[in-house]
Each structure stands twice: as structure tokens, then as C-alpha cells.
Amino acid sequence: MNTQPRRKWHLQRWLLLLAASLLAYAGWTQYAFRSAIKEARALGWEVRYSEPSERILKNWKTAFEKETWLYEVSYVTIPLDTPFEQDIDLIHRLNPTSLEINDAPTLPDLSEIKGLSRLFSLRIANGINLTNVDELKKFTRLEILTLRRCTELTNLDALKELTALKLVVLTDCKGLTNVDGLENLTALQLVEMSDCTGLTNVDGLKKLTKTKWLNLSGCKGLTNVDALKNLTALKRITLYRCTGLTKESIAELKAALPNTTIRTD
């Protein structure tokens, strides 16, 4: 008895079932995705995303990859004066790679965004009650971190293992007294800590030999910048309104880094 035709039929049947399952799965995920996009935009959120068809046109094999249908949102921004706390589930449904929250006055920690493992960029502004960022320890893919006006934040210890970070912006974080949490982040290219008036030393930057841009403007409590003298990769240091620094200390820094543009008042 010839079993070859039967085997061929079984194979064809399974292929048809697989194709039907993929189409059904794609349809369901697309519906869920579109629904989440619609909800977010109704709330005034900005959402950017890529169509699965764009990936498939580049490489048809991606049609058989789960990620093609699940992970499409690249950017979500929540504007000023837009409450988001009751819509945390929506953020998780969108599961973006970049998240920007422009008004977070009621956020005490980052537990609400737990599980957004795809994030490579996180920006939070107006986190005036944000005191704990320990959840950041789990965001190992993070390359960009911006925290603006998080005035109650007192340390950056949660950043110690985020070795993929390339850009850190911490502006008007008045509670910070040091930057020790940045000590081992040798991939950092840019560090901005303007108007961190409680900052008293920058010893945590002394190992950042690849950093090219550093902004410490408005750090009035800073009295010593000796830790920067060996950072020869620096192209620019901005020290406007650093009233605690003497002319002598700035002159010594300029002598140590002759190829670095150092801007002061």
C-alpha cells in the first residue's frame, strides 16, 4: 500500500491549519492593537507605530514570527495636564519601546510601569513626589533616561546596572547630592544634570571615559570638579551658574582638558 499520497495530504492539511491559525491570530492581535491605539488617541496621547506589513515586505519570513504581530508600538507620549494613572493598563497593552510621561505629580515610584521590558527610552517630567526608582533595575535594555523636576529623588543607585544607558538627563532634581549611581555606566555619551542644586560632588563621573557631553549648569552646590580632569573624551562641559566653583578650580579643569570646550559665565 502506497502511503506517500496520504502523508502528503496530512502535511498539506497541517500547513493549511497553521496558515489559518496564523491569520486568525493576526486578525485578533490587529483588532486588539487598533483598539488600544484608538483609546490612547481619544485620551490625547501621541502614539507612533509601525505596520506589520512594513516588516513583512522587507522579509516575508517575519510573518511567521510572533513579535511581528505583537510588538508594533514604538513611541507613546502622554502630554501635560493629562492624568494617566487610571489608564496604566492601556500603557501595558501598547507596550511601547519609548514612553514619555510629561506630567507625573502623583507618581511615588515606578511600580506602575513594571513589566515594560521592551523600553529603551523612558522620559518622566514633573515627578515631584517620585522618591523611588528601584524598578529601573529591571529595565536592562534602557538606553535613554530623562527625569525632569523629580525634586524629591535623592539617589541614583537603581541605575548602577543599566550598562546599556547612553544618555541620562536629570534636570531640576534638587534632592540629588551625588551621582554615584552612574559610576559604572561606561557607555554613557551624554550626561545632563542642570539645576540639580543639591549636587555637591561629581565623583561618580570619574570613570566615564567615553562621555562626550556634560552639562552641570545651575548646580550651585557644586564646589569641586576634580573628578572630571581625566575625562579626555569630553568635547564640551557646560558650567553656567555654578556659583560654588571658584575661578581657580575652573582654570585647573581647563588646563587638565585643553581639547575640551568648557563654557562658564
* pLDDT for the residue 71: 46
Which range is least confidently modeled, 10-24, 53-67, 214-228?
Answer: 10-24
Q: Indicate the pLDDT class of residue 33, thresholds 50, 70 and 90.
A: confident
* pLDDT for the residue 25: 45
- Residue 7 pLDDT exceeds 50: yes
Which range is least confidently modeled, 48-52, 100-104, 188-192, 251-255?
Answer: 48-52
| Average of per-residue pLDDT values in the chain | 87
Q: Indicate the pLDDT class of residue 18, thresholds 50, 70 and 90.
A: low
Q: Tell me the average pLDDT across 172-179.
A: 95
- The more confident residue out of 110 and 20 is 110
Q: Tell me the average pLDDT across 121-146.
A: 95
- The more confident residue out of 147 and 19 is 147
Are 153 and 133 in contact by the 8 Å Cβ rule? The answer is yes
Return the top range by mean pLDDT from 18-22, 38-42, 49-53. Answer: 38-42
Can you list the domains of the chain with their CATH numbers? Answer: 1-96 (no CATH), 104-265 (3.80.10.10)
- Residue 169 pLDDT exceeds 90: yes
* pLDDT for the residue 92: 92
* pLDDT for the residue 23: 47
- The more confident residue out of 221 and 14 is 221
